Structure 1
């Protein structure tokens, strides 16, 4: 029993602290009974709006709470409210009225960014600070007014979080849908930079007028449906945004192939949305500031709901702007006290009388408030209140998955750690933009499969891909069917390009266009073809296009996808002997005679050493001689079966086996060399021999090879013979010089390898003598997204193939 009483009794330390605080307040009140100084502040809101009603009630509660806990402060804030009537002119008139008739020292509000733009200029002129807790447009910061304090988050602070989301799911493009106002346009530059940092781009910007009708919005949605991008970032006020999603649901844009991300412009007002309307936003991702739920915040929410039951019945619940309004009013009350004390202590006012002393101090509060507010620090409802350069600093964002029955947090984003499932992470954790850092997401269409972010567009512009026209080309072959007038494109370069486009994470429609005249012939050289990209006749060029410095001045190239270099191929001279006695040539006649003599000598010597003790060499003289010769000759093939028993004979056999081994191996190698390598010699040793002999040289039609041979190697133009196909090249080699035949061909290494693969027994390649950068695809400037991504893909494919 005694223990229970002890648990409920306040401790002695808490009682002592309460008594000291109470006595201190009473002493201050008794010593300065008339020290309360009224300070007028203005409040400009749209009083008939949900946010206006909520913010007004929060400011009233904030000042009441502050003055109750700071009763010893000398200043008291008296709020004079004005209704802006949801218009810019109304907000400006309200601000002017407060400045002229109420002598306000600061103004809280106005509610929207467009209203704030005008009121900030008025505050700068009158030297009265404008403290906004709901104007989030980044363009307001560009006004650079020292009298503008933004006690809410700048819209630009969420751009990087959205960029991390786009990167996490592998999307390469996203379309922003924003309202055509200062609020909507302010975030677009920051959003564009954030997407560019994650290698994504904005193919189209969808702008919705604030007073757009439903048919106008539907028309814009149908336009978006015809495009390939299926990732949309919505940034607009909640009322217009809810209409947009309702119409998107109606036209079929809330299915599994679509991905939607909404900014804080809508997520900050989700508490206002009636549950029946959230079904239109099911599966949408939202970015919202993270406010830790603490006891102080929970107690305030309970108090606010008890005092504003009527607003809750009208489906107006507490939102972030209400919390920021509470903290802004608290910060203003703290700053007013600090500014008043600072002004009272100034030398300029101390010399005045007491009455004039207070009046003069109050009149100077507005000028001092911006400086004092920038130094004001406290823990508010939304966390740490910290103003830097007139801007409330942000830290964390929460990623929401909006469902019919509410919102579900799937992760967080912070500038230091990126996307995370929880905020309690070790300091060693690196920045993450991975999908695995988020919890499971229910996407539109009630699916857990991540949308790929693109589809084949119904009216997308097809890129024109120029193709060189060369018949019988293994890299590019253009065949036109006269009966159907249909052109077919085949070849290694076409296959590589098609594979590359299939590897892209989004669909790019394109069509091949031959670079030809109406009669089907080539319309020019390869330099002319590349120049068409500069003239914007083609978006890209695919084919056996060599990467050259002069071509790079007016077009961009991808990574090379073939070997590089220029080589020369010449015919082989076959000096091999065709008669039946060619096997005698590896050894000279002297060597043949000496070898025969040694065969006889070794056989005779073995007979003498073995005939007395070895029965295999016994018999009459003829048998002994025959056995000895047979034994000596069979050693040549290591086929002897007779055994030697004397040590001297064994030594002779070892020496003779070694000699025979050397003799047979040398004979085999010499004969092989005479029948193959030594007899297949190139007809031309080098490029200088061609110049010295004034031989004809072949080169591919339309290639830069002719220019290189004439300018760099000084070949006479009359000695250059062009060919179109490899079959024509073979025909040129078959002719003699007098009839236009060629002694060599100079072409790029990939083509020479193909030619030699068909005629390896008749021709050989001289070592490449000029380096090139290989074949690459040509791209225009507005096709640079493909070019950037293709560098990685082509490099990967090159490594896999070669």
Structure 2
């Protein structure tokens, strides 16, 4: 003999192995294993093994759950009366969101698994123990799995294997929202900030001064005693707010300034009206509490879901046990928060979202999110089903069916964000700074052009006076020029007759005849002007509403 060989107990060890298929008490050879061909039913060539009979008489290789003697998978179902839309035992099956997801993923496996659901309760709607006790029964092999809203926790993973989570993870606070804006007698001032009120008032006065300076030389309505002129400035400027000014603008430069100012006033008015309407009609809802530190300082009570891991979390967050109150349903949450029995509810996000789907407009979630792994299904440690189910959960989570199940659970109510969508802040000066720059620039340009034109019209007088007077004298001359009434202007005085009236009167023969008759003295043959009526224009403007006929005048003559 030559080459390598092994001997054990004085016997040569063969390198060829026979493969035996054992099922029940029967045994049969299905092939061999050799270093040359590995598994093969022939020693001479590479070939597949003979058909293998698996437990149960099946010729297909089982995956995951081994089914000795067609044993069913015994699954424990917790009792959750307050949140039965997550899990409930109904007609021998697990119903609700958790049960529906499990049914979808278990039937997506490439093999069939017979299932038997068993309620972990007394049959009267009460649980037979805590969730920790239910999970521990899987460790004791009383259940083959647990399907429900079981949160994946480190201490529970010591006894069971969890699948990947199939819900949103985390813990947050639920707090009431209140309208923080107080309606008072001075609410009408809230749409604008103080700097915008002052800036708007300053530009009202500024525009009035510009118009007065340009108009008062030629426009009689802007002249008079100092008190009257000051009143005209303020009345004209502030009456533009409602476009009710009565003064007639004569100068084109002041018209330009006023038109631009009207544009600014229109935008301010519309913005103020919209903001005030929002303040009076839209509630500014803000959370009553924003973090647990406020709760700790106030010593307020904190609510949580009964039979959960949250008491341990609250203790780690420095909440005294005497401040903790357990609740069982969304209805109890609402009653406790609305009555002030508790300041906040601390719970997992899926439960809070279900609560908000019913009480959206009165509450909101605030504060940081405390990370947890979410809900998972529990299997015995080392179970081949756990990774199989996890892979199916990953595929199902991104499907349309999962989105539909979540919509059924949470509803399709679009609850607005209380932090910003229903708030209405005051308008600031910065928002209208561009408009104020435009109106200020146009008014200043109109003023500068008016000064230049006026000085140009009086240039000869200024040149002759500049050599004879000091700078104080020149200032006095300038003040006189800009203050005196421009009698040579084409602006008609309101006390003078208008040409249109005169022409209209002359063109009416009956009015003219009436005027002539009224000016004759009844005691004399010659007509004379009445005393105090020396202006023809004023005589012509006096008309009898019922003129005399030509026949009557002829008979009187």
Is 1:683 matched up with 2:288? Answer: yes
Change beyond 3 A, Cα 1:186–1:761: same
Quote the offset at 1:631 in angstroms: 9.8
Change beyond 3 A, Cα 1:524–1:496: same
Deviations 1:461-516 (A, max 9, x none): 22122122111415534366xxxxx5564321111111111211121121322211
SS in 1 for 2:347: strand
Structure-2 residue corresponding to 1:706: 311
Change beyond 3 A, Cα 1:542–1:488: closer
Distance between the aligned counterparts of 2:361 and 2:250, measured in 1?
Answer: 51
Structure-2 residue corresponding to 1:288: none
Question: Equivalent of 1:792, from 373, 387, 391?
Answer: 391
Confirm or deny: 8 A CA contact 1:698 1:722 kept in the other structure. Answer: yes
Question: Equivalent of 1:468, from 78, 82, 87?
Answer: 78
1:576-615 aligned at under 5 Å gives the runs 576-578=181-183, 582-587=187-192, 595=200, 602=207
Structure-1 residue corresponding to 2:149: 544
SS in 2 for 1:758: coil
Confirm or deny: 8 A CA contact 1:566 1:770 kept in the other structure. Answer: yes
Change beyond 3 A, Cα 1:579–1:655: closer
Quote the offset at 1:185 in angstroms: 7.7
Is 1:750 matched up with 2:350? Answer: yes
Structure-2 residue corresponding to 1:775: 375
Confirm or deny: 8 A CA contact 1:178 1:185 kept in the other structure. Answer: no
Change beyond 3 A, Cα 1:778–1:576: same
Confirm or deny: 8 A CA contact 1:609 1:649 kept in the other structure. Answer: no
Change beyond 3 A, Cα 1:187–1:728: farther
1:303-322 aligned at under 5 Å gives the runs none
Confirm or deny: 8 A CA contact 1:548 1:773 kept in the other structure. Answer: yes
Structure-2 residue corresponding to 1:657: 263
Distance between the aligned counterparts of 2:304 and 2:270, measured in 1?
Answer: 48
Distance between the aligned counterparts of 2:116 and 2:251, measured in 1?
Answer: 88
Deviations 1:537-556 (A, max 9, x none): 11111111111111111111
Deviations 1:515-544 (A, max 9, x none): 113544112221111111111111111111
Distance between the aligned counterparts of 1:176 and 1:649, measured in 2?
Answer: 109
Structure-1 residue corresponding to 2:101: 496
Confirm or deny: 8 A CA contact 1:494 1:542 kept in the other structure. Answer: yes
Question: Equivalent of 2:176, from 571, 596, 608?
Answer: 571
Distance between the aligned counterparts of 2:97 and 2:370, measured in 1?
Answer: 24
Change beyond 3 A, Cα 1:656–1:564: same
Change beyond 3 A, Cα 1:524–1:588: same
Structure-2 residue corresponding to 1:144: 13
Distance between the aligned counterparts of 1:661 and 1:513, measured in 2?
Answer: 70
Change beyond 3 A, Cα 1:595–1:554: same
Quote the offset at 1:755 in angstroms: 1.4
Distance between the aligned counterparts of 2:264 and 2:294, measured in 1?
Answer: 47
Distance between the aligned counterparts of 1:753 and 1:681, measured in 2?
Answer: 18
Distance between the aligned counterparts of 2:345 and 2:95, measured in 1?
Answer: 25
Deviations 1:121-152 (A, max 9, x none): 99x86xxxxxxxxxxxxxxxxx635xx7x7xx
Confirm or deny: 8 A CA contact 2:75 2:143 kept in the other structure. Answer: yes
**Aligned-residue CA RMSD (Å):** 5.0
Residue segments in structure 2 that go unaligned for 5+ positions in a row: 40-50, 219-231, 404-557
SS in 1 for 2:127: coil
Quote the offset at 1:791 in angstroms: 1.7
Structure-2 residue corresponding to 1:338: none
Confirm or deny: 8 A CA contact 1:695 1:719 kept in the other structure. Answer: yes
Deviations 1:440-467 (A, max 9, x none): xxxxxxxxxxxxx99xx99732212212
TM-score (norm: length of structure 1): 0.38
Structure-1 residue corresponding to 2:426: none
Deviations 1:773-796 (A, max 9, x none): 111111124642x32222222122
Structure-1 residue corresponding to 2:337: 733
Distance between the aligned counterparts of 2:117 and 2:249, measured in 1?
Answer: 81
Structure-2 residue corresponding to 1:763: 363
Residue segments in structure 1 that go unaligned for 5+ positions in a row: 1-104, 107-119, 126-142, 157-174, 192-203, 208-219, 234-452, 481-485, 614-623, 637-641
Distance between the aligned counterparts of 1:701 and 1:498, measured in 2?
Answer: 27
Confirm or deny: 8 A CA contact 1:479 1:487 kept in the other structure. Answer: yes
Quote the offset at 1:650 in angstroms: 3.5
Is 1:231 matched up with 2:74? Answer: no
Confirm or deny: 8 A CA contact 1:749 1:768 kept in the other structure. Answer: no
Deviations 1:215-274 (A, max 9, x none): xxxxx9xx52xxxx56379xxxxxxxxxxxxxxxxxxxxxxxxxxxxxxxxxxxxxxxxx
Pairs aligned (count): 365
Change beyond 3 A, Cα 1:670–1:748: farther
SS in 2 for 1:561: coil
Change beyond 3 A, Cα 1:705–1:603: same
SS in 1 for 2:361: coil
Change beyond 3 A, Cα 1:561–1:181: closer
- Higher radius of gyration, 1 or 2: 2
Distance between the aligned counterparts of 1:796 and 1:477, measured in 2?
Answer: 22
SS in 1 for 2:357: helix
Distance between the aligned counterparts of 1:799 and 1:489, measured in 2?
Answer: 22
Quote the offset at 1:587 in angstroms: 3.6
Confirm or deny: 8 A CA contact 2:161 2:378 kept in the other structure. Answer: yes
1:291-330 aligned at under 5 Å gives the runs none
SS in 2 for 1:231: coil
Confirm or deny: 8 A CA contact 1:468 1:476 kept in the other structure. Answer: no
Quote the offset at 1:683 in angstroms: 2.0
More helix by share: 1
Structure-2 residue corresponding to 1:278: none
Change beyond 3 A, Cα 1:593–1:766: closer
Distance between the aligned counterparts of 1:600 and 1:472, measured in 2?
Answer: 66
Change beyond 3 A, Cα 1:532–1:608: same
Confirm or deny: 8 A CA contact 1:544 1:775 kept in the other structure. Answer: yes
